[in-house]
Every structure is written in structure tokens, then in C-alpha cells.
Amino acid sequence: MKKITLIMFALATSFVFAQSATNAESILSQTSGAIGDGGVACGDQGAGTTGDNLYFRSYYLYDYGVRGIVQATGLEFFVSTATGSTALQVMVFDMEGFPGGFDATNMPVPLASASLTVTSAQVGTMVRADFDSPAIVDEDTTLVALVYETDGQTAQFYLGTAAAEDAPSYLASVACEINNPVPVAVIGFPDARHVINVIVDDVVAVGDNLAEMVSIFPNPTSSVLNINLPSNIEVLSSALVDVLGRTTGVVYSNGQMDVSGLSQGVYFLKLETTQGSLTQRIVKQ
């Protein structure tokens, strides 16, 4: 019978990686310094394989300089070891109070996700994974980033680890009976400071002047949302979407939106006008 246990990959190599981003993007990171080996994974030590690993980092966006509404467009992670082809999924969740409430045997619906395959050619590099659709979030979001090694005990994969971190890295694995994420330091691997960064696009809403001219109230609301614009501004299109980016079907008419039929929660109002675009966070009570 295979022995499934937590194993660390240790090798005396290191890389110095400089983060970069486009003018419209920011990279949120909890790690710094030289990147090397020393990652931890659940695996079959005899066979030299890993699998069924969920690697997490949790970002409260306000603490990382996010203000207003942005898009989370993808994740970055550093590949320390990869043999064969390793199937991965990357996801982000909105989870205040993480790691509480996360169960690896019954994962919540992510805000955004993507699938990719990592090979040995990517060892020693930072891999970028763009979500299939961006996640719309704001400064008050606790964004949980996940790199999920879905392939079960057929390859070997380890994340790169950094010299320093300012928040814990978390691990879960059903095979190793860690159904709820725990800091890797707690399970005996304090040096496994896994590199997982979040990519956000700062440009969602355009024009502070437009925001000052448009009045949207009451917010929070339980029934009708009023949208007042100056007479020289025309609404070209509108949409009210949920946190997964799904259109609610609520229609803008005569300066109002009837949201009484929606479930309680957070939504985003998107307006395209003759004076530019505006996105605003709406709370339905």
C-alpha cells in the first residue's frame, strides 16, 4: 500500500526574481527575497510523486493598497520542481475569516478560475495563469488565492519558496487528511513560504469626475436603486452583476433599478455613458 505523507523537496538552488506588471496591473505578493526550493507537498515518498495538494494565500485587499473596485485577472506562482506533466487549477475565493469555512472535500464556488498544465520546462520560472473571466472585487474583499494540484500521485510538483513572507502560506490535502487549510509552519514546515501572487487590474471604473456627477442611492438597498445623472449624460448600457460576474437581468428604466427580487449580497452596477464608464459596488439587504 502506498504511503501518503507530507514530504519536502530540498535542493541547494535559488533564484532571484523581480516582479513586473503592465501599467494597468499590480501584483500583490506576500513573499520577498531569493526564491528557491524547500516546498512541502502531500505525496507518495516511495514513488517520488505528489498529488492532491491545495496551496493557499489569503489577501485582505485594503491592506495591499487596493482602493475602490478592481479586477483580479489571474495568479502567479513559482515552479521549483515539476516532473512529467502536472495538471493544475488556479482559483480565487471571497472568504472573510479564512481559513475558517474552507473544506477541501466540499470546496466553495470560486469567483474566478483557470486550468493549466506545468512541465519540467517551466522549472525555475514564474508561471502566470490568467483566469477564464476576471473576478470583480473591491478593497473590502478577502481574496483567497489557490493553486490546486489536481493530479493524484502521477507526477512530482513543488512550489518555489521565498526567503521571507509577511503572511502565512496554507496547505490542505485530503490524501494527507488535512481537509481544512492550515499554515505550513503549524505542520512543521516553517521554511515552505510558497510563492503565490495575485494579479489585479487597477482600471475598472473610468473617471473620478463621472463618479462625482452620478448619484446612486440608497446603498445598501432592499427594493429600488435610484440612479441620478445630469441631463447632459446619457446611459448607453447598464448591467447589474453578482460577484461571479453573472448578469442578474435587472433592467435600468427611468433612472431606477428594481432589485427587490435579488438575494441579499454584494453586486456591481456597471454603467456605460456618453461621458465614460462607471462601476459601483451595490449591497442588497
- ω into 220 cis (within 30 of 0): yes
State how far the alpha carbon of 245 is from the alpha carbons of 134, 139, 241, 269, in Å.
8, 17, 5, 11
State how far the alpha carbon of 36 is from the alpha carbons of 39, 107, 160, in Å.
9, 30, 6
Per-residue pLDDT tens digits for 227-274: 998 877 889 999 999 988 899 999 999 999 999 999 999 999 999 888
- CA 202 to the chain's CA centroid: 15
- CA 197 to the chain's CA centroid: 9
State how far the alpha carbon of 155 is from the alpha carbons of 86, 170, 215, in Å.
6, 21, 55
Distance CA 271, CA 276 (A): 8
Helix (H) or strand (E) holding 130: strand 126-138
pLDDT grade for 51, boundaries at 50, 70 and 90 = confident
**DSSP 8-state secondary structure symbol assigned to residue 199:** E
Distance CA 81, CA 123 (A): 6
Query: Quick count: other Cβ atoms within 10 Å of Cβ 236?
Result: 10
* pTM, to two decimals: 0.75
State how far the alpha carbon of 246 is from the alpha carbons of 14, 231, 239, in Å.
43, 30, 10
Domain with CATH 2.60.40.10 in the chain: 207-284
The CATH number for 207-284, chosen from 2.60.40.10, 3.40.50.20, 2.30.40.10, 3.30.2130.30, is 2.60.40.10
The proportion of the chain whose per-residue pLDDT surpasses 70, expressed as a percent, equals 88
- Say which residue the cell 489577501 belongs to: 59
pLDDT of residue 208: 52
Domain with CATH 2.60.120 in the chain: 25-202
**Grid coordinates in use for 68?**
475602490
**Grid coordinates in use for 59?**
489577501
**Grid coordinates in use for 204?**
475598472
Per-residue pLDDT tens digits for 25-40: 899 999 999 999 889 9
Q: What fold does the segment set 25-202 form as a domain?
A: Jelly Rolls (2.60.120)
Mean pLDDT of 113-119: 95
The three-class DSSP label of residue 122 is helix
Distance CA 118, CA 125 (A): 11
